[in-house]
């Protein structure tokens, strides 16, 4: 969407017409930002038949409650407005329009539909703090301030660590769709960049009832030392079970999104060493102590995982970027974020730098590539090493 004055006026007018229908999916006061609040919109598939991550909202609410209890931002309280995109691109567009109509200072969440979020917010000058980028738009839009480099770093990162742990022959197992194939290529490039060899790539369907045939393909030549899984979290336990039944004794690499706490517990007795890459420290890591305590105090029923961690960090980023600033609107926040070279977002990740271009060609807005790799042990996370940049040799 172009950022001309005419289109901006049309966009705001259209939102005024649509607001009644949109409120069925969006929570909040429905009014413009007051002088006593800093309003942040959280949008994601909070509830949908296909994919639901309500903890994205919980993480933001916990951070806001903690910050408000300590005096807020320059004396103003953080107000969280929510919008459920329902895993629907049309609804995602409405959520972006809600951000414009609500005059929020920032948008955060988990965006399956990047252009639908970034186009409208870019025209309105609203910064977007993506908790985990999955859309290329997050890497190019000038109003994008992603907390991390998303799949562009977590897949090369897990590949690099597996090679460094002595796994030279690695099989990549992506789900057979556009996202899976793209992420599988990122993992394969990471293996090769680290000096390993991709023995083969084994594509799998979404929701396969039995993963045994695909595991056998992965192991058929007998030289597979590690497997990188690039499927869905729902299918990951089935894949691990099939690997266990096949007698695989090597390493499986994945992302922390594949192994949320409930899945970690479900595969606790697999006997397979699993490593997962993450953009955040998670409990029981001591660096996640404040995050864990905020969640326990303010959102005790929520899952404490990578999804809630991302928005918790984003809200802290907004609060810390605005410290000492005379204004807290979106324009002021955009300027503050743009000049932040060591922004504290909580100890769950390193300080972020939005002043430089990122290491991924064609996606300069992905500035914070550092990740950490954890080992899943007995159904829980153990931090395996410190944060590192997978692009630095």
> What length does the chain have?
393
Residue 33, pLDDT score: 41
pLDDT tier for residue 309 given thresholds of 50, 70 and 90: very high
Cα 190 to Cα 193, 194, 214, distances in angstroms:
5, 6, 22
Cα 266 to Cα 82, 199, 269, 279, distances in angstroms:
31, 29, 8, 23
The answer on pLDDT for 209 being more than 70 is yes
Mean of per-residue pLDDT scores for the chain:
89
In three-state secondary structure terms, 307 is: helix
Long-range contacts, 175-179 (Cβ 8 Å, 24+): 175/203, 175/204, 175/205, 175/206, 175/230, 175/231, 175/232, 175/235, 176/203, 176/204, 176/205, 176/206, 177/206, 179/134
Structure tokens at 296: 């326990």
pLDDT tens readout for residues 258-306: 999 999 999 999 989 999 999 999 999 999 999 999 999 999 999 999 9
pLDDT tens readout for residues 352-390: 999 999 998 899 999 999 999 999 988 999 876 899 999
């Amino acid at each position: 969407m172009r950022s001309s004055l005419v289109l901006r006026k049309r966009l705001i007018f259209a939102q005024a017409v649509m607001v009644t229908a949109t409120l069925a999916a969006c929570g909040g006061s429905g009014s413009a930002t007051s002088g006593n609040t800093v309003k942040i919109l959280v949008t994601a598939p909070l509830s949908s038949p296909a994919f639901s991550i309500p903890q994205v909202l919980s993480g933001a609410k916990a951070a806001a409650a903690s910050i408000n209890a300590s005096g807020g931002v320059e004396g103003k309280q953080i107000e969280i407005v929510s919008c459920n995109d329902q895993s629907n691109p049309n609804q995602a567009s409405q959520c972006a329009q809600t951000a414009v109509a609500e005059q929020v200072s920032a948008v955060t969440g988990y965006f399956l539909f990047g252009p639908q979020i970034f186009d409208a917010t870019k025209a309105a000058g609203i910064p977007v703090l993506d908790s985990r980028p999955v859309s290329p738009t997050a890497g190019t839009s000038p109003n994008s301030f992603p907390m991390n480099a998303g799949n562009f770093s977590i897949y090369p990162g897990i590949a690099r660590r597996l090679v460094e742990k002595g796994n030279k022959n690695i099989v990549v197992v992506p789900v057979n769709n556009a996202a899976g194939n793209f992420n599988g290529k990122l993992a394969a490039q990471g293996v090769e960049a680290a000096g390993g060899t991709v023995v083969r790539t084994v594509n799998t369907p979404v929701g396969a009832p039995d993963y045994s045939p695909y595991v056998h393909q992965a192991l058929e030549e007998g030289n597979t030392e590690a497997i990188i899984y690039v499927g869905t979290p729902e299918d990951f336990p089935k894949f691990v079970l099939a690997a266990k039944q096949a007698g695989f004794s090597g390493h499986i690499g994945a992302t922390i999104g594949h192994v949320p706490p409930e899945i970690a517990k479900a595969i606790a007795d697999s006997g397979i060493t699993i490593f997962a890459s993450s953009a955040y420290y998670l409990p029981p890591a001591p660096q996640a102590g404040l995050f864990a305590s905020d969640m326990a105090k303010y959102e005790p029923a929520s899952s404490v995982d990578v999804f809630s961690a991302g928005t918790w960090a984003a809200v802290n980023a907004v609060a810390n970027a605005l410290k000492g600033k005379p204004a807290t609107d979106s324009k002021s926040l955009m300027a503050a974020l743009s000049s932040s070279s060591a922004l504290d977002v909580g100890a769950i990740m390193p300080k972020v730098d939005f002043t430089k271009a990122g290491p991924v060609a064609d996606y300069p807005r992905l500035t914070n590539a550092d990740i950490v790799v954890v080992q899943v042990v007995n159904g829980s996370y153990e931090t395996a090493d410190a944060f590192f940049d997978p692009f630095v040799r």
